[in-house]
Amino acid sequence: MRAAVDVTDIAVFKAACPDCRGRFELDATALRLAIGASRRTTFYSFTCPDCGAAVRKPAGERIVELLTGGGVRTLRLHSTL
């Protein structure tokens, strides 16, 4: 038996598109977080609901904390040495 999900429990994040300058809210399922070995390889991404652009933005420690706490799907990147 699956537990019912209450829509009030779904995290919503404010975002903006650098291409069309649209401002909107996205739920956790619309975002992806990639955590790399450095600041340069840690970012979040989404598709702009206004213009369809693929958006990628850097994610510092606080952003990572907020997104993971809000249920955003996370990919951990590993370096190949």
pLDDT in tens, the chain (81 residues): 444 445 556 789 999 999 999 999 999 999 999 999 888 899 999 999 999 999 999 999 999 999 999 999 999 987 655
Count CB-CB contacts under 10 A for residue 9: 7
Please, what's the b/e burial string for 32-62 (b: 16 or more CB within 10 A of its CB; e: otherwise)? bbebeeeeeebbbebebeeeeeebeeebeee
Position 2 scores a pLDDT of 47
57/46 Cα distance (integer angstroms): 9
Which amino acid, residue 48? C
**Angle (nearest 5°) at CA 77 between 74 and 81:** 170
Position 77 scores a pLDDT of 86
